Amino acid sequence: MIVLRVLVIYAHPLADSLNGALFACVKESLAAAGHEVDALDLYAENFDPVLSADERRAYFDVEANRARTEPYVARLEAAEGLVFVFPPWCLGPPAILKGFFDRIMVPGVSFRLEEDGSLSPNLRHIKKAAAVVTYGRERPLLWWFGDPPRRMMTRYLKWFLAPGTRPVFLGHYGLHKPDDAYQRRFIEKVRRTMRRF
Ligand SMILES: Cc1cc2nc3c(=O)[nH]c(=O)nc-3n(C[C@H](O)[C@H](O)[C@H](O)COP(=O)(O)O)c2cc1C
C-alpha cells in the first residue's frame, strides 16, 4: 500500500453527532493504515465560507485569490488524498463546505483557465478521494432529486484530480428511520474503506 498525505475535510458543527463519530473513525483508520492525516474541521477552524465582493472581482486574478486563502491552498496542494465527511443539508453540502468550494476551488488552485478560454484540472497530485455522506432521506427519493451531493463528489470533484481517480462514495441513506444495525455496518464499512485507502 502506498502511504499518502490525506486531507480530511469535515463539515458539521457538533462533535457528538454521527458525523463527528465518522470524522473520528476516518482519521483513526487512515492513521492506522500509515497515512499522514491533515484534519480540516471547517467549523472548529472558523472557516469563512463567504466569497466577498473583492474576491469575486479578483476571481481570475490568480495571485490575489491564492494570497487570500493561502493556508488552505497550501494544505490542498500538499495533499495526495482527499476525504470529505458531511451531511447533506437541503440537498447540498452544509454552507460552510459549499463556501470552501467557492473560495478555494478557484482559478490557479484547483483548475487553470487557459488563454483560449478552456479549463484544465490542477489537482492532479491528488490520486485518491472519498466522501462519507449521511442522508436523512431514503435513496430512491434522493435518486429522484438527482442526489446532488453524490454527483458533486463523484462527478464534479473527479474532474480536478489525477487522471483515473474515481472518488469512493460512502452514503448512509434513510437516517430519519433509525436502524442501529445498519448504522453499525456503515461505520464498519467506512473503517474498512479507510484502512484500505
Ligand atoms: C438543515 C438540515 C437540512 C437537511 N436536509 C436534508 C436533505 O436535503 N436530504 C436528506 O437526505 N437529509 C437532510 N437532512 C438530514 C440530515 O442529513 C441528517 O439528519 C444527518 O445526516 C444526520 O447526521 P448527524 O446526526 O451527524 O447530523 C437535513 C438536516 C438538517 C439539519
- Percent of residues, the chain, with pLDDT higher than 90: 93
Q: Considering the chain, what is the average pLDDT of its residues?
A: 96
User: For residue 65, what pLDDT is reported?
Assistant: 80
Which residue owns the Cα nearest ligand 1 atom 4? Answer: 89
| pLDDT above 90: residue 178 | no
Task: State which residues form the domain around 97.
Answer: 5-195
- Percent of residues, the chain, with pLDDT higher than 70: 100
| pLDDT above 80: residue 1 | no
- Within 10 Å of residue 86's Cβ, how many Cβ atoms? 25
User: Which residue out of 135, 145, 177, 186 has the highest number of ligand 1 atoms within 8 Å of its CB and is therefore the one to mutate?
Assistant: 135
Beta bridge partners of 41: 10
Report the CATH number at residue 133. 3.40.50.360
The answer to whether 71 and 104 are in contact (CB under 8 A) is no
Q: What global pTM score does this model have?
A: 0.97
The answer to whether 193 and 130 are in contact (CB under 8 A) is yes
In the reported structure, the alpha carbon of residue 108 is separated from the centroid of ligand 1 by a whole-number distance in angstroms of 33
Choice between 92 and 1, residue whose per-residue pLDDT is larger = 92
Is any ligand 1 atom within 6 A of the Cβ of residue 108?
no
End-to-end, the C-alpha distance of the chain in Å comes to: 8
User: Which residue out of 19, 134, 179 has the highest number of ligand 1 atoms within 8 Å of its CB and is therefore the one to mutate?
Assistant: 134
Is any ligand 1 atom within 6 A of the Cβ of residue 197?
no
For residue 72, give the H/E element and its range: helix 70-78
Provide the number of structural domains found in the chain.
1
Dihedral, CA of residue 100, residue 102, residue 108 and residue 110, to nearest 10: 60
User: For residue 20, what pLDDT is reported?
Assistant: 98
Q: Tens digits of per-residue pLDDT, 45-59?
A: 999 999 999 999 999
Q: How far apart are CA 10 and CA 45, in angstroms?
A: 11
